[in-house]
Amino acid sequence: MKPINALGWFNNLILNDFHPRHLDPLTLSMGRMQELHDAVQQQKRKAVLLIKDQMMMAKKEKQARMLLLNYYNSLVHLMDTLHDYKDQWREIPGDGRLLVEVLEKQLDEIRTNFDKEYGLFLKNRQRLPLRSLLPIREKILDKVETMEERLISQGHEVGAIKVIVRFLRGFAGQISNREVITAHQVQYTLEMLQDLDGLSSAMSINGCPQLNELLIHWNLNIQETIDYFLSGKDQLLASLKTDQEQLEFYKVELVKLQQISEKSDYIFNPAYPSLRAYFLDYTCFEIENLERKIRGFAPLSREEVGEVELEKEPFQPSDQKVEVALSSDQIGIIFRVAHELGIFRARSRRAVFRKYGSLISSLQREHPSWDNMRSKASSPEHRDIVVVVDVFQRAIASIEKFLKGSKASSPEHQDLTYVRDLFKEAIKTVEGY
């Protein structure tokens, strides 16, 4: 038996009865007006309950998800269609417009119920109706011009201002062009505006341009942001004549990057890597290349000799190694995230793996290759990521037990809290791999 369309009544009313080409004046007559007004509210309640029943009857999660997404998309289509009708209606009595507003409100309440009851299925990734987007567009356009003037007068980087202003105006333009805009994108943009409202100083405490740090902190991972940073980097490198000067420049930039935090659960395009991760990889790669170039064709280091000449004693004797109950690929992921979070500090990621890789043995290998670990950590397997995340989650659970036994004001409690938060940040970073 084919399931009942919970939005069928609204489909018929909006797509047929309210269509501008055959809108019957009697539909909006005084006698019919109150009848429709009551019916709209009754049908809204009926639709919400029917959708809930159908969701509970779904046998599989995938089936429930598809059902909900179909209803959600149909609902937004009805809301946008009704919005378009209002511009086409030439003559409609005031009471008729009031009825349309009631209808819009009831449809929006169904959509709001979706967000409230089924947020795990939607995850802020579904398109919003024009009714919700148009006020956002006006807010952006109203703020962006005065904001641009204020940022320039405060002495902020002109290039960064241009990136931000173009992004905001482009976002408003996407709404005007009826492009798909999600709740996630709206929330992201509104929080960006809020941060900009509270901005004053042009330089951060790290001595970096404040807007540059914010672009990383916000995770505005669009091509224009990448181009802006790379262009600025090229201009600075042009004034550095030697490889050694360029190497020192990149090392300083690496330290600055490691000190910039990312806003929790905040990224413009989740389908792309975070800006911080991208530029950490980029900077480490440039450092490795410059170190290799400066070193030239030189003898292998003691550690490297231990890797390629198995008959010689490895750098670290077996009885002095720490045995880690993970695979070398999983250990490599931990080394990578520890370096990116600034826990392991070294001039480059390569240096981290070279130094600490010689101190451990894995489940499979007594002397794992630090270079192989480094290479695999750049593109880790999903199964290894899952294992590492599970290790971090178990560490957090253990720390939570310790926290219960410590006083909130004690230094021990503060240290435990700091380490727990580091593990939480590590989980978010690893899941981004």
Which pLDDT does position 16 carry in this prediction? 85
Query: Going by C-beta distance under 8 Å and a sequence separation of 6 or more, which residues neighbour residue 59?
Result: none
> In this structure, are residues 265 and 184 in contact, taking their beta carbons and an 8 Å threshold?
no
Give 203-232 pLDDT, tens digit per residue: 776 678 899 999 999 999 999 999 999 999
* Rounded Cα distance, 257 and 83, in Å: 46
Calculate mean pLDDT across residues 59-88: 87
**Better pLDDT: 312 or 115:** 115
pLDDT bin (cut points 50, 70, 90) of residue 315 is very low
Which pLDDT does position 102 carry in this prediction? 83
Which pLDDT does position 26 carry in this prediction? 59
* Rounded Cα distance, 209 and 158, in Å: 11
Closest to 209 in 3D by CA, of 240, 190, 236 = 236
Q: What angle do CA 167, 169, 175 make, to 5 degrees?
A: 105
Q: What are phi and psi of 414, to 5 degrees?
A: -65, -40
**Residue 317 in this model has a pLDDT that exceeds 60:** no
Query: Going by C-beta distance under 8 Å and a sequence separation of 6 or more, which residues neighbour residue 57?
Result: none
Closest to 151 in 3D by CA, of 139, 141, 137, 162 = 162
**Residue 324 in this model has a pLDDT that exceeds 80:** yes
Give 380-413 pLDDT, tens digit per residue: 888 889 889 988 998 998 888 888 877 777 778 7
**Residue 309 in this model has a pLDDT that exceeds 50:** no
**Better pLDDT: 145 or 29:** 145
Which pLDDT does position 234 carry in this prediction? 92
Q: What angle do CA 212, 214, 215 make, to 5 degrees?
A: 65
pLDDT bin (cut points 50, 70, 90) of residue 194 is very high
Calculate mean pLDDT across residues 49-64: 87
Maximum CA extent, the chain: 98
pLDDT, mean over the chain: 84
Q: What are phi and psi of 360, to 5 degrees?
A: -125, 160
**Residue 354 in this model has a pLDDT that exceeds 90:** no
Calculate mean pLDDT across residues 59-84: 88
Question: What is the three-class DSSP state of 46?
Answer: helix
Q: Which two tokens stand for residue 375?
A: 């290479």
Which pLDDT does position 274 carry in this prediction? 86
* Rounded Cα distance, 334 and 264, in Å: 20
**Better pLDDT: 133 or 418:** 133
> In this structure, are residues 423 and 395 in contact, taking their beta carbons and an 8 Å threshold?
yes
The residue type found at 377 is A
Question: What is the three-class DSSP state of 79?
Answer: helix
Give 14-35 pLDDT, tens digit per residue: 888 878 777 666 566 656 777 8
Which pLDDT does position 215 carry in this prediction? 93
The residue type found at 328 is S
* Rounded Cα distance, 185 and 206, in Å: 29
Question: What is the three-class DSSP state of 150?
Answer: helix
Give 235-279 pLDDT, tens digit per residue: 999 999 899 999 999 999 988 888 888 887 788 888 888 898 889
How many helices (H) and strands (E) are present in the chain, helices listed first?
18, 2
Show the DSSP H helices in 274-410 as ranges. 275-295, 302-308, 328-340, 349-357, 370-378, 382-404
Burial of 14 (0-12, 13-18, 19+ CB in 10 A): buried
**Better pLDDT: 280 or 305:** 280
Which pLDDT does position 62 carry in this prediction? 84
Which pLDDT does position 144 carry in this prediction? 93
Which pLDDT does position 30 carry in this prediction? 58
Q: Which of 56-70, 223-237, 298-312 has the highest mean pLDDT?
A: 223-237
Q: Which residues pair with 127 in a beta bridge?
A: 182
pLDDT bin (cut points 50, 70, 90) of residue 323 is confident
* Rounded Cα distance, 14 and 184, in Å: 28
> In this structure, are residues 331 and 362 in contact, taking their beta carbons and an 8 Å threshold?
yes
* Rounded Cα distance, 194 and 289, in Å: 40
